[in-house]
Amino acid sequence: MTTEPIAVLAGGVGAARYLRGAARALPPEHITAVVNTGDDWRVHGLAVSPDLDTITYTLAEAIDPERGWGLVDETWHALASLGRYAAVRPPGSTAATEWFGLGDRDLATHMYRTARLEEGADLTTVTDEIRRAWDIATHIVPMSNDPQATIVETSDYGDLAFQEYFVRHRHDIAIEGVRFDGDAELSPRARNVLEDASRIVIAPSNPVVSIGPIRHLPGVDELLTDRRDDVVAVSPIVGGAALKGPADRMLRELGHEPSVEGIARWYAPIAATLVIDTVDADAAPAVERAGMRAVVTESVMSTPDIAQRLAAVTLSK
Ligand code: FO1
């Protein structure tokens, strides 16, 4: 297996689990996660970066294992205390937003990030400071230092900020489209990582709203296409369904097939290899017909050992 630098395009929970496995499969200082920030938003005046934090907390072994986001052994006093103010909030105010769960200990991360950004530090610098505070060896790099918001278009509720769609509506509403607002650039650090990595892994993240925002940044798809032979994607769809989150439903509603074959068509222009789960072994020829080499292995990361073996497969083939 390689000890060259490895880049991982990453979103939320699936990517975090993959990265935890990769950090067991090879020296973590060789791995850099390039992370989606399209889910980032401001709430209570705080800069919250859910995917950066899910990856940080998972690699620090501090994530809540049931939820897959936020900190283990969390308390919720601050959130509960918002109820008093929600009662007097005028119509139209977003003060005292109660539907987004910020735990008491988690709040410290957002307070630190917000204060440092307001001091003029860029998100790459602040993310690295947070990584060091949690004693993590894997590098964690935001896709961009600039804001780029993922907007989910719906007929029932109009345009929704990603967290409104995902958390407030529990991603249980029909969507008509997804777009990315903002003129963000790939961060210089992320560009270096993607150019220098011996292998680029597309983690088993939602292809539309986790990997999509990274691919939307100018030059990223071109860079990946140029490096296509070095790019390996892990299918986020297993047996026709997403393991967590709305990827299958979103793909279907946007007119794509939620299957490993559909994922192969989605990624074929930018990645040569698709890792699929053993339950989809019969679909390997269809993946190859869609233009990607299929590698079949156990990919449902129910334990860190399975995640480690999956990472080893993606990094050795
Ligand atoms: N997900 C939820 O389903 N409900 C929440 O209340 C929630 C709060 C939250 C707070 C901080 C954070 O870093 C993540 C949080 N998430 C929550 C997860 C997050 O909305 C999604 O997992 C990602 O944006 C999708 O990758």
From 51, 54, 98, 167, the mutation candidate for ligand 1 (largest count of ligand atoms within 8 A of CB) is 167
The number of beta carbons lying within 10 Å of the beta carbon of residue 46 is: 16
In degrees, to the nearest 5, what angle opens at C-alpha 80 toward C-alphas 76 and 82?
125
Residue 272 alpha carbon to ligand 1 centre in Å: 32
Which pLDDT does position 314 carry in this prediction? 94
- Give the DSSP letter string of 241-267: EESSSSHHHHHHHTT---SHHHHHHHH
Model pLDDT for residues 89-128, shown as the tens digit of each residue? 999 999 999 999 999 999 999 999 999 999 999 999 999 9
Closest Cα to atom 8 of ligand 1? 101
> Is pLDDT larger for residue 180 or for residue 317?
180
**The pLDDT of residue 51 is above 60:** yes
In contact, 260 and 274? CB cutoff 8 Å = yes
Q: Which residue has the tokens 């977003």?
A: 94
- Kindly state the average pLDDT of the residues 273-282: 98
Q: In the chain, what are the domains?
A: 6-38+47-62+122-145+183-316 (3.40.50.10680)
User: Cα(94) to centroid of ligand 1, in Å?
Assistant: 18
Closest CA to 276 of 308, 243, 239: 239
Q: Which atom of ligand 1 is nearest to the CA of 36?
A: 26
Joined together, the tokens standing for residue 126 give 């602040």
pLDDT of residue 160 exceeding 60, the answer is yes
Ligand 1 site, residue 166, Cβ cutoff 6 A? yes
Is the confidence at residue 317, as pLDDT, over 90? no
Q: How confident is the model at residue 243 (pLDDT cuts 50, 70, 90)?
A: confident
Cα(70) to ligand 1 centroid in Å equals: 7
Residue type, 202: I
Q: Within 13 Å, how many C-alpha atoms sit on residue 234's CB side? A: 34
- Side-chain-facing half-sphere of 310: CA atoms under 13 Å: 31
In the reported structure, the alpha carbon of residue 169 is separated from the centroid of ligand 1 by a whole-number distance in angstroms of: 12
**Model confidence pTM above 0.85:** yes
The percentage of the chain sitting over the pLDDT mark of 70, rounded to a whole number, equals 99
236 lines ligand 1 (CB under 6 A): no
Q: What is the pLDDT of residue 244?
A: 87
C-alpha 126/C-alpha 155 separation (Å) is 37
Mean pLDDT across 244-272: 96
